[in-house]
Amino acid sequence: MYRQVRSQQRGLGWGTDYPNADINFSIRLSELTKTQVGLQGGPSGPESPRRAADRSGAVSVPVRDGVGSRQRRFLADADAAGLRDYLLKGGFLWVDDFWGPWAWEAFIDEIAKALPPGEFPVAGADRRASDLSHAVSDRDRFRRCRRCSSGGRAGGATSEMDEYSATRAHGAIVDQQGRIMVLMTHNTDIADSWEREGDDPQFFFNFSPNGYAVGLNAVLYSMSH
């Protein structure tokens, strides 16, 4: 959770895709890999914990998923310091579902508070993440996914901001040993392929298998590096 932005245009801040994406992904992770997943929780599925951005928790929380980071100044100084500590201890942050050049610039400005670009430059994810792309399922490229309401239909557009998000610009930030600390899937909404898996059969077949493959690769990579 980042507390300085609670809602925004075209999104709900950190609450975008929460909790169904987290719950569905946890179930699929337990079904499709040998990862031990705690499935206790409510009647709808496993518990989906929320973590404040300024708590490091590097041992107990190996993966963090951040979404909807489209506005500037969503990381307070204490949050940035805690995030830096978490990532350098071995943590992994995946930022998804942010669209357009303004959102990219905003996130780059914010993550620089924790990982200055002179020390930790942004690299292209497709070039630097061969281990990530093949951790479970061979996926050389991150396919675009859009929310179920439009992208699942035949011929439906997959760019949420039309020409402003026509090109994917995924990125990664690595540590001194080359381990990916931050994965950015920009101009796509991979978590929607988990959240909306049961909403529409065509959407499921178009996006969910690939979306889960990308997610499993990322999580297994993060927990084994």
Each domain of the chain, given as residue ranges in start order, spans 13-224
The model's pTM is 0.78
Residue with tokens 């809602």: 7
pLDDT at 165 (0 to 100): 58
Contact 122, 189 (CB under 8 A): no
Reported as half-sphere exposure (CB side, CA atoms, 13 A), residue 172 has a value of 20
Neighbour tally for 101: CB within 10 Å: 14
Decide if 216 contacts 136 (C-beta within 8 A). yes
Closest CA to 102 of 146, 71, 147: 71
Per-residue confidence (pLDDT) for residue 150, from 0 to 100: 46
Q: Helices 20-32 and 201-224 meet at what angle, rounded to 10? A: 70
CATH superfamily name and code, 13-224: Domain of unknown function DUF4159 (3.40.50.12140)
pLDDT at position 120, please? 96
Per-run averaged pLDDT (10 residues), the chain, 225 residues: 51 67 90 84 57 51 64 73 91 87 88 95 68 60 53 56 65 91 88 91 91 90 87
Report strand pairing: 63-67 vs 180-186.
Answer: unpaired
Residues in a beta bridge with 96 = 67, 185
Q: How many CB atoms lie within 10 A of CB 174?
A: 17
pLDDT score at 22: 86
